[in-house]
Structure formats: C-alpha cells, structure tokens
A and B are shown apart, each in its own frame.
Chain A
C-alpha cells in the first residue's frame, strides 16, 4: 500500500508536464484524489510552469483576437460544476449520440457522420467507418451537403421565408417526437454543433418529420437563436423552426422533411428577424449540416 503510494507519487512531475500516457494519468489522478501531498505539489508545479511561460512569450497574429472574440460570442460559459466531473474531454470522434433512451425497445439505425476530409465543411464532422459501401455512399452525397451548406450561407445574405411555427411546434413535440423515434424508417444522423459538441437528427421521411436532438447544446446570447433548415433542391431554404435553450434539446421538425436533401443549423437574430432582414451577426457558417438520401 505505502509502496504503491510512493510509486504513484513519483509521477507527479510527469503528470504536470503532461508526460503520462492515458492509463498512467488515470491512475495518478485517482491516487491524487486522496493524496493531499500530491495535490499540493501538482498545484505548485502548475504555477511553476506558468511562470516559465514568461520566457516563451510570443505575440500571436493580430487577427487571432477578432477570431477568438467572435468565436466566444457564440458560446455561453458553462455553469459551475456542482461535483467534480469529467471536463472537456475532446469529443469522441465517430461515437454516435445516444438518442431515444425513452424508447429502448427499438434500435435506431445510425448513419455515420460525413467524412470531413474531402468535403472541407467548416464544422469538423468525424467519420465512422462502418463499411466501405456506406463510406462510398457518404462521399458521393457529401459534395451535395457542402453545396447545400454554402447556398444556405448565401441565401441568408439575401432573404428567406419566415415560417414562425415555434408555438405550434412546442405543443406538438411531446407526442410527435415519440412518433418519429418509433417510425420504421427513422434514421439517426450524428452531427457536430458549432462548438464541436455532438447532436443528431432523427429523420423519418415517411412521417415527413424529423427530430433534432442535442445533449449539450451551447447557450447563445439572449438576442440569438438556433435556426433549423431543410432544402429539397439546394437552392431554396426552408426554415424548420428555431430554438434557444441550452443543454438537452429535442426539437421537432414538422413538415418539409419527406423531400429534403439536407438539414443544417445557423445562428440567427432572435428579434423576429430570422433572416428576413440582412443578417448582422449571421455571417456565421451553417453547421450541423448533413445530407439525407432522397
């Protein structure tokens, strides 16, 4: 016991220098949770390395400031942690979002995320290689998704139809979302939000409905909302509703789903504008874009 303790304690320097592998790090962290000496030393050494950055200072490119500030404007700080919790583990590439836990009886087919590498979509979309056929199919349709996403961006700069169905949609969600999840042709499309967090669409063409499901949706400033979009021909974009909340979100997309070829989200001003006026902050790229088969 005391020997283990000594061995773990030896790792304190390597831990602070991020020189442990994953297994060693986990072991050390579980040791540190009950070792005040190690915890104290980790804090001290973190301060030491922070002081060392005095010597390596370098002014970043001037345009980074603007880039950082506009990036954070789209993200709301997380609330304080009530309990110690796994922090920002980098998103697990390719792991599908678990949805429909209320309906464990039916396993939904999960369509792997589109491969970003030859698409160049701004939002990183990790790929899950299920099998080659699927991967090939994805690549084929990807160019459509990219084109669709770009056209959405252009369309936003001009004008779009304003379909304010929020109130109605709210009332329908409870019953309709269960229908979507239970639909025989429902498919799940995992996507990434603008901050890299995972979300997905559950699409039922037969019901002409889809569900947007986000487990950890980032907050937006009070004057902005997320807006969902569908398109049948990649030139006309139809609002599929807006939502604002943070955390877990299940948003019903009612209609315009049967013929849609793509789904995407943008951040829009919430003051009734929704694209009908020239976008201000809405120079943002569409994200969570996905192509769905016709």
Chain B
C-alpha cells in the first residue's frame, strides 16, 4: 500500500495540473480505504485476542478453584499489573497497594470456586473485587479527610483531569482515545472522583455542586460512553 501511494505521487508530479488534482482525490480515497481496512483488521484481531485471553484467565481461575497453585501463579502473572495498577490508582500508596493487592489475591483464591464464567470475565470478577477492597480501605483509613480535601480543593479539578489524561494516554489506540475524549466533562469528573477517588455519589454531587440525580445519570451515561469507546460486549 505504501509503495502504491509513492508511485501515485510520482506519477502525479509529472502530469498536468488538472490531472494532479484528480490523482490527489484518488490517493485520498485509497488512503481512507486503507485506514478503514486496518481499523477493521485491528478491531477483529483485538476482539479475538481478547476472547482468547478471557478464556485462558477463566480456565486458570477454574483450575485454582480445584486447588492448583501453579494455575493460580499463572493467573497472578497475567493479571498482577491490572490489579496492582488499579489498587495503586485508588490508594495512591504503593505500600498499602501491595498489601491490599495481596489480600485481593488471597480472596480470589479463596472464592475461586464461586466464579461463574457465564456471568462475566475472570478479569472483571477480579478487578471488581480489587476495586471494592481498595475503596473499603480508602474509606476506612483516617487520612481520608486529607484525600477528600485534596479532591475538594481548587487543585481537585486539575487532579481529576490528570488522572483522566493518564487513563487516556494508557491506550495506544487512537479510536479508544477519541472515544474517551468524547465523554462530557461532568461524566468524566463524576466517574473519576467516584471510581478512582473513592468518593460516594453524594460526595461527588457536593464536590461538583450538582444535584445528586445529575451525578447518577452522568455516571451511568459516562459508563455507556466508556463502554462504547472501549468496545466491550459481554
């Protein structure tokens, strides 16, 4: 494809002006077609890879339920960065995060027989558990006040933007980034304060000074937009 474009340009340069214009149009069309094609291929490959990974994780979790420690070790290796990264993001303390991450994995091991792959992916099952435990820790720790104040202060807004920006940058795919950027400010803020900041919806409402009902609907709308951006289907 690349060669093709170059040869077209070469040809266009030698032609009359009118022809050059036509050639440019054709070139543009072909590039678009190529882009569409590569996006489609990328998406399909990603979906397939995602399904493979999901099936593998589910299998490892199910093997763990039968007491297979090697399977659990493999599960740990494949999910540790996801789980730990999430916990760090919520707790903002690497030491506490390591501790909570360990608690999460012991709990994953203990409860492994209760995972049901017909009800969702192993990763979602684990990250849900990790998030809940991290949030519990945040809410029980006394330095909560300090955190709250930080989020509530003038810098709070900037912090929300930073967190979100990092999340966006974490994705390589331009398509995902654009999808994330399409969330409205209030959707983004509500989700970030709640999911990463550990605030309750009531606290989010008072921080953002919007009615609680607005926070509820924006969080849900925001998740629908997120779901679209990330292309998640269950």
The answer to the question of B111 belonging to the interface, with a C-beta cut-off of 8 Å to chain A, is yes
Nearest CB in chain A to that of B215: its residue:
A14
The answer to the question of B199 belonging to the interface, with a C-beta cut-off of 8 Å to chain A, is yes
Report the separation of the CA atoms of residues A157 and B170 in the bound assembly, to the nearest whole angstrom: 48
The answer to the question of A50 belonging to the interface, with a C-beta cut-off of 8 Å to chain B, is yes
Partner-contacting stretch, out of A59-67, A126-134, A207-215, A227-235: A59-67
- Contacting residues, chain B, for A18 (C-beta < 8 A): 131-132, 135, 194-195, 198
- Contacting residues, chain B, for A44 (C-beta < 8 A): 227, 232, 234
Instruction: Give the shortest distance, in Å, between B131 (CB) and chain A (any CB).
Output: 6
- Contacting residues, chain B, for A51 (C-beta < 8 A): 230, 232
The answer to the question of B124 belonging to the interface, with a C-beta cut-off of 8 Å to chain A, is yes
- Interface set, chain B 203-234, CB cutoff 8 A to A: 204, 213, 215-217, 219-223, 226-227, 230, 232, 234
Report the separation of the CA atoms of residues A79 and B223 in the bound assembly, to the nearest whole angstrom: 34
- A47 pairs with B234, CB closer than 8 A: yes
Main secondary structure of the interface of B (DSSP, over half): helix
The answer to the question of B119 belonging to the interface, with a C-beta cut-off of 8 Å to chain A, is yes
Instruction: Give the shortest distance, in Å, between B159 (CB) and chain A (any CB).
Output: 15
Main secondary structure of the interface of A (DSSP, over half): loop
- B223 pairs with A16, CB closer than 8 A: yes
- B110 pairs with A78, CB closer than 8 A: yes
- Contact A71 B220, CB 8 Å, known A47-B232, A60-B81: no
- B124 pairs with A69, CB closer than 8 A: no
Report the separation of the CA atoms of residues A117 and B223 in the bound assembly, to the nearest whole angstrom: 41
- Interface set, chain A 203-251, CB cutoff 8 A to B: 218
Instruction: Give the shortest distance, in Å, between A251 (CB) and chain B (any CB).
Output: 22
- A19 pairs with B109, CB closer than 8 A: no
Nearest CB in chain B to that of A45: its residue:
B223
- Contacting residues, chain A, for B23 (C-beta < 8 A): none
Interface string of A3-29 (1 = CB under 8 A from B): 000000011111011111100100000
Nearest CB in chain B to that of A16: its residue:
B223
The answer to the question of A72 belonging to the interface, with a C-beta cut-off of 8 Å to chain B, is yes
- Contact A10 B217, CB 8 Å, known A43-B234, A72-B109: yes
The answer to the question of A167 belonging to the interface, with a C-beta cut-off of 8 Å to chain B, is no
Pick from B82, B106, B195: contact of A72, CB below 8 A.
B106
Pick from B102, B112, B128, B199: contact of A46, CB below 8 A.
B128
- A43 pairs with B120, CB closer than 8 A: yes
The answer to the question of A294 belonging to the interface, with a C-beta cut-off of 8 Å to chain B, is no
- A57 pairs with B81, CB closer than 8 A: yes
Report the separation of the CA atoms of residues A47 and B122 in the bound assembly, to the nearest whole angstrom: 10
- A56 pairs with B111, CB closer than 8 A: no
- Contact A59 B80, CB 8 Å, known A11-B216, A77-B112: yes
- Contact A52 B167, CB 8 Å, known A20-B201, A78-B114: yes
Pick from A12, A17, A50: contact of B124, CB below 8 A.
A50
Instruction: Give the shortest distance, in Å, between B17 (CB) and chain A (any CB).
Output: 48
Report the separation of the CA atoms of residues A247 and B200 in the bound assembly, to the nearest whole angstrom: 36
- Contacting residues, chain B, for A52 (C-beta < 8 A): 167, 226, 230
- B215 pairs with A64, CB closer than 8 A: no
- A48 pairs with B226, CB closer than 8 A: yes
The answer to the question of A76 belonging to the interface, with a C-beta cut-off of 8 Å to chain B, is yes
Nearest CB in chain B to that of A19: its residue:
B194
- B200 pairs with A19, CB closer than 8 A: yes
- A46 pairs with B120, CB closer than 8 A: yes
- B82 pairs with A19, CB closer than 8 A: no
- Listed A/B pairs (23) with beta-carbon separation below 8 Å: A10-B216, A11-B216, A13-B222, A17-B223, A18-B135, A21-B200, A46-B128, A48-B232, A49-B131, A50-B123, A55-B166, A55-B168, A56-B86, A58-B84, A60-B80, A61-B94, A68-B105, A72-B72, A75-B110, A80-B113, A80-B114, A81-B114, A87-B114
Q: Give residues in B with beta carbon < 8 Å to A.
A: 64-67, 69, 72-73, 76-77, 80-86, 88-89, 94, 97-98, 101-102, 105-107, 109-114, 119-121, 123-125, 127-128, 131-132, 135-136, 166-171, 191, 194-195, 198-202, 204, 213, 215-217, 219-223, 226-227, 230, 232, 234
Closest 9 CB pairs between A and B?
A: A55-B170, A13-B219, A13-B220, A58-B85, A19-B194, A60-B84, A50-B124, A57-B81, A14-B201
